Amino acid sequence: MTATGYEPLNTLKPVADDLWLVDGPAVRVRGFPFPTRATIIRLQSGDLWVHSPTELTDALIAEIGALGPVAHIVAPNPSHFLQVPAWQAAFPGARYWAVAGVETRAARVGVDLPQGRPLQDVAPEADWAGQIDQLILRGSHRHTEAVFFHRASETLILTDVIQAFETAKLPAYARPLAWLTGTDDTDGRMPPRIRWSYRDKTALSEDIETMIGWRPFRIILSHGRWYRRDGVAELERAFRRELRSRRWDAAITDMKSKQDAGRGDP
């Protein structure tokens, strides 16, 4: 097990009513140790919904079993699927959901995934519609990510589009990369490699505005510190670059409308 600074690992941590997170061990990507985090929601039916599953242990299986049956396992982007087979084996009655591209990426690295159901822009009616809102972020030619909003707890759940690494918790050799990419906790935001893939800035900014419109109180991230409050302010800060041109255009349009109204133009 790799320490992350978010110990204890592999155990349920309550966040709000019917909402828990699990901090998992770090995984190395090109040498950088990414702390991992799963989010678990208990639906009104009593079933459990699991986002971005982390390492599974016997003790964690027992803890989860005390909450209720796992009904849904969610791979929210093509980088968060490695633990799906272990969770599906431990909870064979669960449905597995994934965004487009997960199967291709898994096959490339030799991971055998169960048959999945596609995640769409609209929550599945018979499963969690009305409880968890969702959308697939648009605009990227390479990065596909589903984002979720748990209405009852006012919690937005993101995976990789905001990263906020607490550098004090990272080994010294990894800290400069967090600083250089602007993903250290002083100003957590979208990593450059993901931001550069979003060529359609208008579509992305529209989806960010949708997330802001959900008015989240908190934001749970898969990597680094998560935001326990001020969710809307954190979104506006983290995505200020992506929102700048859209809001500037809106301000110009509003100014012109007021000028026209002042002149009495039709």
Q: Identify the pLDDT of residue 3.
A: 79
- pLDDT > 90 in the chain, percent: 86
Query: Are residues 50 and 73 in contact, defined by beta-carbon separation less than 8 angstroms?
Result: yes
For residue 255, pLDDT over 60 is answered with: no
Q: Name the band, by pLDDT with cuts 50, 70 and 90, for residue 264.
A: low
Strand partners, 133: 149
Structure tokens at 257: 């409308």
Q: Count the neighbouring beta carbons within 10 Å of the beta carbon of residue 12.
A: 16
> Which residue ranges form the domains of the chain, and what is each CATH number?
12-261 (3.60.15.10)
Q: Identify the pLDDT of residue 29.
A: 86
Higher per-residue confidence, 70 vs 257: 70
Strand partners, 156: 149, 219
Instruction: State how far the Cα of 173 lies from the Cα of 186, in Å rounded to an integer.
Output: 18
Q: Mapping DSSP to helix (H, G, I), strand (E, B) and coil, where does residue 103 land? A: helix
Encode pLDDT of 175-231 as tens digits.
999 999 999 999 999 999 999 999 999 999 999 999 999 999 999 999 999 999 999
Q: Name the band, by pLDDT with cuts 50, 70 and 90, for residue 1.
A: very low
Structure tokens at 173: 């050799």
Q: Mapping DSSP to helix (H, G, I), strand (E, B) and coil, where does residue 108 land? A: helix
Q: Name the band, by pLDDT with cuts 50, 70 and 90, for residue 260.
A: low
| Mean pLDDT, the chain, whole residue set | 92
DSSP conformational letter for 127: T
Encode pLDDT of 234-254 as tens digits.
999 999 999 987 665 555 455
**Residue with token string 């997330």:** 211
